[in-house]
Amino acid sequence: MKQFFLATLLAANMIPALHAADQPAPAPPMPKVKIGEMAPDFTLTDQNGTKISLDQYKGKKNVALAFYVFAFTGG
Amino acid sequence: MQAFQQNLSKLEAADTQVLGVSMDSPFSNKAWAEKIGVTFPLLSDWGGDVTKEYGLYNPKYKAARRATFVIDKDGKVTDIKLDAEAIDPTKTVEACQAKKLNR
């Protein structure tokens, strides 16, 4: 009886998990900035504490702006 | 970012400045840059304002989607790579080299 009770509890607990797994994963975000558009300027701090703006490269260099997910991960 | 570091001389030869961006703190970025030997700027978008403005904020991870933009000298976006294509910079390098040839 005790085993049956435990099994029922376990089964009941699994139902919400199964439902959650059925839900489609949310679509990944799509870039708002498109090819041919001006890249929005920003000023951010680098690993050495230096403030860097996108605008400082205007007229001088192309920029490869690489967004990554987390430090200490691949890519 | 390791792959961009390996391709840095090619990108520099194509008149291209590499900038990494994430929502990590500058302290995390400093520790990571030292660990993997990254010499280009890793920018801290703490709070995610820039990530959101570019449309890359992924609420699932509370972090940016992997994406690489090529921005020309006029400030215009000329190329976008997402996910796996953004991790491997080969196509970004080619886009930058092609830009150089066109000028």
Residues B32-55 pLDDT 10s: 999 999 999 999 999 999 999 999
**In chain B, where the domains are located:** 2-97
- Does B53 contact A54 at a Cβ distance shorter than 8 Å? no
Amino acid A27: pLDDT: 81
CA distance linking residue B68 with residue B83, whole number of Å: 9
**Number of structural domains found in chain A:** 1
Fold entry, domain B2-97:
Glutaredoxin (3.40.30)
Q: Which residues of B touch A63 (CB under 8 A)?
A: 16-19, 69-71
**Confidence at A74, pLDDT banded by 50, 70, 90:** confident
> Which chain B residue is nearest to residue A46, measuring alpha carbons?
B43
CA dihedral A48, A52, A58, A60 (to 10 degrees): -10
Residue A75 lies in a domain: no
In this prediction the ipTM stands at: 0.95
Residue A73 lies in a domain: no
Domain that includes residue A48, residue range: 2-57
Residue pair B101/A65 in contact by the 8 Å Cβ criterion = no
pLDDT digits (tens, 9 = 90+) for A32-69: 999 999 999 999 999 999 999 999 999 999 999 999 99
Residue of A68, A69, A70 to mutate, testing the B interface (most B Cβ within 10 Å of its Cβ): A68
Residue A15 lies in a domain: yes
